[in-house]
Amino acid sequence: MKPTTIQDLSDFNELFATISSENIKYFPVRHHSPACSYFLKHYIQKLEPDYILVEGPHHFSHLIPQITDDDLKPPFAIYTTFENKKTKQGEEGRQSSFYPFCDYSPELVALRAGKEIGAHMEFFDLGFPEQIENERTFYGNTPKLGALIDDVYLRRSVYLQSLAKNAGCRDEDELWDHWFESRVKPDEPANIEHTLQFINHVAAYCAMARRDYTDEMLQAEGTFAREKFMAERIAELIDSVAVDDTNILIVTGGFHTIALPRLVKKHKKLSKIRKSPECDNYLIQYSFDQIDRLSGYGAGMPSPYFHQLNWDYINKKISEPPVSTLLTEIARQSTKKKLDQKISTADTIQALVQANTMASLKGRKAVTREDIFDAVRSCYVKGSIEIEGLRILEIAKNTLSGDRIGQLPSTVSLPPVLQEFKRHCESLGIKLDQVHRKRWVLDIYRKTKHQKISRWLHCLNFIGSPFARLVSSPQFFSGSSIKLTQEEWEISWSPLVDSHLIDLSIHGVSIKEICLYRLKERQSALVQTGESRDAMAMVTLLVEICRMGIQETMDTLMGDIQVVLNEEENLVHQISALQQLLMLGSLKPLLNLTSLAGVEEIYVLCYQRICYLLRLIITDDTDYIREILQNLSTMRELIVASDAETELSDNDSTIDRQLLIDSLEHRLSEKPMLYPVLYGAYFGLLYGLGQKTDRELTDTINVQFLSAYSKPAERVGFFYGLISTHRDLLWHHEDIIKTLSDLLEQWSDHEFLTLLPEVRLVFSELTPNEIDRVAENISDIHNTAPIGTLYHDDINDEILMWNVNLSMQVSEILNKQGLGDWISQGKK
């Protein structure tokens, strides 16, 4: 079906006639436009229609009594959601959308005005599921915006862009504000002439915008399907009432107002209404911040707070025009945020004058938001707009946008989960009336109240709610210092928090129930992916459960973990699991005693298993070995910590250190011999545990260095492993350095050069401080004077190596010719 197209100017008159015919009147609106709301309200009051049809999915109609409740304070939204059974590729099963409403939204104003005159009211657009189906992936990944999509047509119109330029406006937004929004002044009440003129102008405006769209585009976006549906509903209504005595008012986006009258006229018969999936529709709180963001998607009107103030002003609820309130507020905010540039009262006065002058210069009756921004640019910025201006403009943008959140009356039905959430927030003193980030530091070891909050937040986190974010949590500490550590959270509410909970509400009536559901999901997922064999993944899950304070499923999980730990062959995984379990120890306060016992059992099991694997390990996979090295120091820390604890508490430690010692010793003496790096690591551990003497140490080093490994890495390997588990040997144990020094001197130049990279590697992980200490030791041993600067900037590596090689070659030649003395004189 072809929509109306305007061929020449005379078509306009025809258009105007069709939208304001005898008993059936159309009112074209732009969503979230205060000017449209103003004239619409006046129109309804004058016309007193019997029926009002409002654009919006028809399944919203039953919410109208709640929407028109006096206790409902915008901004709010209707959140609609359904399960999409036939999932095409990549489409999620669940589809949802927000339909926001503000005080000044024409749809809301129409419903409120209609309630006052007792009109029969309905939403009459195509249902949300059908809209999804019809619309191909035109908007890609942007969230579904419901009714606001219509505005996108206006923004994208090429015609309107050039019209804007001719009118001296920057873009289509400013053009709309200039022509329509600034028409209203509180001291000039609306009369019917103005209203009719307004209707016609908006219609003409939208008609011109519609010219830029081809039928194909409109078809693809699902517009035709919606207009067809709406036209049929109108026709149905006309047929069912005595038209001559009934007034019908149809409120839709202006883009559709152009097409509907003709479609209604041409309509022949009603199409069958297909069965569509059931939608759930909820009223939820919404925020100005979110509404402002929609303009980033090309829909809606930006700066909601500005429009709210305007609305209040033209309805005489406030006496100050928005421009003065806002400019003052921006100045105040800049002082509050401690900007370098202080904005004085004189500046504010100047800005006010500037805004008003700008408006009158452009021939507007009222100041638009662009005028306010221009005033800020001119008067509040003392410097370049790209440098000094950035912050103040951001403040201006945020001030005009606002941070208001709507309030729902208590009679609104919410899913139990959401109700529980809100009650809990209230009891904790979290006010959900502003979109602010809040930092929370929880003292989980000393305050019971904080423990409870921590559990609640972890639960929310676990189910994926955007409400809370864990900034930092205590790491493993031992002893008394643990009591001082805290958890830090960042809380911020947004409408997405509510919608997220609504989506999950099918899985439970409380947050705890939803957690259990998710838990089961995770566990079965682990089994499916084979990760259940992975001790790490399971233990991580265990830690999360403990943090949430949910004890119910712990037993089965722990049973599974035991099984897995017994089967885990990878040493690194086992050690990582142990590290996680150590962390559990720090969570003691969050658990009750019975569950703790089970955890301790696993802990011990893990430890035993590690010892077992250490005892039996046979590998020469260098990557695996490197990983092991990185984790072996954990074992040492563990022993140290447990020793400390034993001292403090007088109890027997749960860790049997002898087991570790025995395992290590056993492996050292067994064949096949350990790969040198591991050998050194084991040795270092044993030395640290007091099982090896210094003499043994030096002897072993000597043996290792002289050994017949062919690869340089292996020859130095022992040393490397040793240092990695017991670094302080380098400066505490004098003999080590001496031994190493002796060995280095024994090497030939050629050997030295070949082994140099490996030896460097050993020392490469030391911190600068540690390097200094080692250097001191070395110089002490050799009783040398300082060797001077070690860094030369003007020579690069290439030149150095070239020089070294050249020197070697020259000295070889000289030696061959019996002239070796010439060189050795230069040496020490």
Partner 1 sequence: MVSATNIIRQPYESLYKDELEALKVNDKDLKPEGWLLSPKSVRKFILGSSDELKYKNKKIQVSQKFYGDSGLIDRCIVTLMSNRALMLVGDPGTAKSMLSELLAAAISGQSSNTIQGTAGTTEDQIYYSWNYALLIAEGPSENALIPAPIYLGMKQGHLVRFEEITRCAPEIQDALIGALSESQLKIPELKHQDTIFAKRGFNIIATANLRDRGVNEMSSALKRRFNFETVMPISDTQVELELVQKQAQQLLVDINLPSELDQDILNLLVTTFQDLRFGKTEEGHAIDRPSTVMSTAEAVSVAYSAALEANYFNNGVLKPGGLVKQLLGTAIKDNKDDIKKVQQYFEIVVKQRGKKSKLWKDFYNSRKYLDIQ
Residues that bind partner 1 (CB under 8 A): 168, 170, 344, 346-347, 350, 353-354, 357-358, 361-362, 370, 374, 377-379, 381-386, 388-389
What are the tokens at 689?
């545990």
What are the tokens at 514?
């939803």
Least distance from C-beta 383 to partner 1, angstroms? 5
Least distance from C-beta 162 to partner 1, angstroms? 12
384-390: long-range pairs with CB below 8 Å, 24+: 388/340, 388/341
Least distance from C-beta 169 to partner 1, angstroms? 9
Closest C-alpha among 6, 373, 45 to residue 195:
45
Q: Please say which residue, 168 or 820, places its beta carbon nearer to partner 1.
A: 168
Q: Please say which residue, 170 or 626, places its beta carbon nearer to partner 1.
A: 170
Least distance from C-beta 32 to partner 1, angstroms? 24
The gap from C-alpha 578 to its chain's centroid, in whole angstroms, comes to: 30
Q: Please say which residue, 4 or 354, places its beta carbon nearer to partner 1.
A: 354
Pairwise CA distance, residues 607 & 492, whole Å: 41
Q: Please say which residue, 13 or 360, places its beta carbon nearer to partner 1.
A: 360
Least distance from C-beta 324 to partner 1, angstroms? 16
Buried b (16+ CB within 10 A) or exposed e, 565-602: beebebbbbbbbbbbbbbbbbbbeebbeeebeebbeeb
Q: Is 750 helix (H, G, I), strand (E, B) or coil?
A: helix
| DSSP classification of residue 488 | E
Strands of 76-83's sheet in order across: 94-101, 76-83, 280-285
Pairwise CA distance, residues 635 & 660, whole Å: 9
Residue 430 one-letter amino acid: I
Q: Please say which residue, 179 or 603, places its beta carbon nearer to partner 1.
A: 179
| DSSP classification of residue 321 | -
Q: Is 274 helix (H, G, I), strand (E, B) or coil?
A: coil
Pairwise CA distance, residues 384 & 354, whole Å: 19
Q: Please say which residue, 40 or 330, places its beta carbon nearer to partner 1.
A: 330
Least distance from C-beta 110 to partner 1, angstroms? 35
Residues 6+ apart with CB under 8 A from 397: 303, 373
**How deeply is 50 buried, as exposed, middle or buried, from its count of CB atoms within 10 A (0-12, 13-18, 19+)?**
middle
Q: Please say which residue, 61 or 350, places its beta carbon nearer to partner 1.
A: 350
Least distance from C-beta 344 to partner 1, angstroms? 7
Packing angle, helices 657-669 and 676-688, rounded to 10? 140
Q: What is 88-110 written as a DSSP string? A: -TT--SEEEEEEEE-TT-HHHHH
Least distance from C-beta 350 to partner 1, angstroms? 6
Least distance from C-beta 363 to partner 1, angstroms? 9
Pairwise CA distance, residues 569 & 610, whole Å: 9
Buried b (16+ CB within 10 A) or exposed e, 747-757: eeeeeeeebee
Least distance from C-beta 142 to partner 1, angstroms? 23
Pairwise CA distance, residues 564 & 536, whole Å: 10
Q: Is 745 helix (H, G, I), strand (E, B) or coil?
A: helix
| DSSP classification of residue 341 | S
Pairwise CA distance, residues 106 & 230, whole Å: 18
Least distance from C-beta 188 to partner 1, angstroms? 22
- 41 close to 268: Cβ distance less than 8 angstroms: no
Least distance from C-beta 765 to partner 1, angstroms? 35
Strands 51-57 and 248-253 come out as parallel
Sign of the dihedral defined by the CA atoms of residues 373, 375, 376, 381, in that order:
positive
Q: Please say which residue, 130 or 347, places its beta carbon nearer to partner 1.
A: 347
Q: Please say which residue, 381 or 502, places its beta carbon nearer to partner 1.
A: 381
Least distance from C-beta 397 to partner 1, angstroms? 16
Least distance from C-beta 402 to partner 1, angstroms? 24
φ/ψ (deg, to 5) at 151: -65, -25
- 672 close to 618: Cβ distance less than 8 angstroms: yes
Packing angle, helices 535-548 and 448-462, rounded to 10? 130
Least distance from C-beta 362 to partner 1, angstroms? 7
